[in-house]
Structure 1
Amino acid sequence: MKVNYIFLLLALVAEIIGTIGGFGSSVFFVPLGNFYFDFYSVLGMTAIFHLSSNISKIFLFKKGLDKKLLLYIGAPSVVFVIIGGFLSKVVNSDALEIVLGIFLVVFSLLFLIKSEIIILPNKKNSLIGGALSGFSAGLLGTGGAIRGLTMAAFNLEKSAFIATSAFIDFLIDFSRTFVYYSNGYIGKLELTYLPFLFAIGLVGTYLGKKVLKYIPQDKFRKLSLIFILMIGLATISTLAIDHWF
């Protein structure tokens, strides 16, 4: 089976940007992957890809793991990623891609226009944020943006933020991998890319950590949001063109 190396290069870029921007690579990887593979294959690849990248983040940013947030955000995330993963099988893939595109556009515009938006750092919002991010991850393949917004309220030190987010993400990906496999999303094609995506997850996280030292996170966050907006618009436009023409 022929491997698409352009897709792998984009996956590496997505991992580096996701590490630096704090949104996670899936917010870039899922819509980019949709240009090369069907939506369900991308979901399967995302779970595999994230397992390796999150193991890397846990190792590289292991200091300062916040165990309280791990419980409050991680527990509902795991429950709802399983629910979202099973629901993804019964919802039309085109509809899911449209929802994904709209989600990316609304999310990016919201934070570009209202950058001062915050969520109060309390247990209730942690549980709600965890549930929404897990459900989104299971259904659409990406939920890091919602989780990142929830965690930002607690004003964690940068390494602690990445380590805690990565550990929660690892639990999410570990859970949804079994759901996606039972749904038939992980087959020969997805397993062909497994060693490549595993290596990219490791290398991309390492490079992202190196770059993070030289780029102010607030400036890169804005660039990341603009990139997310462009990807969201491209996703919606591509679906519209395929539908009408």
Structure 2
Amino acid sequence: MEYLAIVIIVLIAAFVKGVTGFGFALVSLPLLMFWFPAKELIPVLMFCNLFASILIVLQKKEYKLIDKKGQSLIIYGAIFTILGVATLNYIPDKALTAVIAIFFIIMSIFSLIKNKRIRFYNIGIYKTAGAICGFLTGCISVSGPPLALFLNQVNVSNKQFREIFAWFSITTATVALTGYYFAELLTWQTLKLSAISIPLLFVGSYVGKRLNQRIPQHLFEKLILGICIFSSIALLMKL
């Protein structure tokens, strides 16, 4: 039953990522936590994130897409990922589940609120955003929604968005997985789940990308966020 749940949930979450560009962990983590502990799942999602991001940066680029502000975002993300890993290693399982559920509810509600796009010129804002997203990456493997919200507020093109997002994910995931290894959070079960999930991620993402023009994206995103809120509330009630 557990492995059937993995196949179904990972395929759905990967499909969401293919349509929207992010949201894999946002959808999969709260649902998979009904069968697996959070500390077992977080490294799995990190492996998936790493491989998916590598494919993006390997695509041919016509010009340099990351400026100094983007670089500062990535560097501070990597530094604070270490703090996130240290926090994950010491936080109790039930407390971690509650933190993840509450965070997902807040982020889902915030994502439903449309904000006017503004421009940030202060590089300190990028460092702060990188630090927050890096900490979240190391601690709960979820930096996608807050990072997407931040990049949506700044004046970057779609290509820059994807490039910054991918390099941030590669850098922080590499740091986090190294930390998980030394914290003894990488187990055979984690590696087995990763081996199952990564191929499913590519299949679901491919289908999502093929169909993303046929699905009204704003309605689709609201449906997914609604599912995320519901599953997170159910997790809290389960504690």
- Whether the aligned pair in 1 keeps the contact of 2:80 and 2:134 (CA below 8 Å) is yes
Please, which runs of 5 or more residues in structure 2 have no aligned partner?
A: none
**RMSD between superposed Cα atoms in Å:** 2.4
Q: Which residue of 1 aligns with 2:54?
A: 55
Letter in 1 for 2:221: R
Look up the SS of the partner of 2:162 in the other structure: helix
Q: Which residue of 1 aligns with 2:203?
A: 203
Query: Residue deviations 1:70-126, cap 9 Å, x none?
Result: 4132111111111101111111121111111111111222332x3226564332222
Q: Which residue of 1 aligns with 2:43?
A: 44
TM-score, normalised to structure 2, is 0.87
What count of residue pairs does the alignment treat as equivalent? 237
- Whether the aligned pair in 1 keeps the contact of 2:84 and 2:139 (CA below 8 Å) is yes
Q: Which residue of 2 aligns with 1:243?
A: none
Alpha-carbon distance between aligned partners in 1 of 2:118 and 2:44, rounded to the nearest angstrom: 31
Please, which runs of 5 or more residues in structure 1 have no aligned partner?
A: 240-245
Deviation at 1:151, TM superposition (A): 0.7
- Inter-CA distance 191–197: structure 2 relative to 1 (3 Å threshold): same
- Given the alignment of the two structures, is residue 166 of structure 1 paired with residue 166 of structure 2, yes or no? yes
Alpha-carbon distance between aligned partners in 1 of 2:167 and 2:220, rounded to the nearest angstrom: 23
Matches within 5 A, 1:135-214: 135-214=135-214
Q: Which residue of 1 aligns with 2:12?
A: 13
- Inter-CA distance 231–217: structure 2 relative to 1 (3 Å threshold): same
Q: Which residue of 1 aligns with 2:30?
A: 31
Alpha-carbon distance between aligned partners in 2 of 1:55 and 1:186, rounded to the nearest angstrom: 21
Alpha-carbon distance between aligned partners in 2 of 1:225 and 1:64, rounded to the nearest angstrom: 34
Q: Which residue of 2 aligns with 1:125?
A: 125
Alpha-carbon distance between aligned partners in 1 of 2:62 and 2:7, rounded to the nearest angstrom: 30
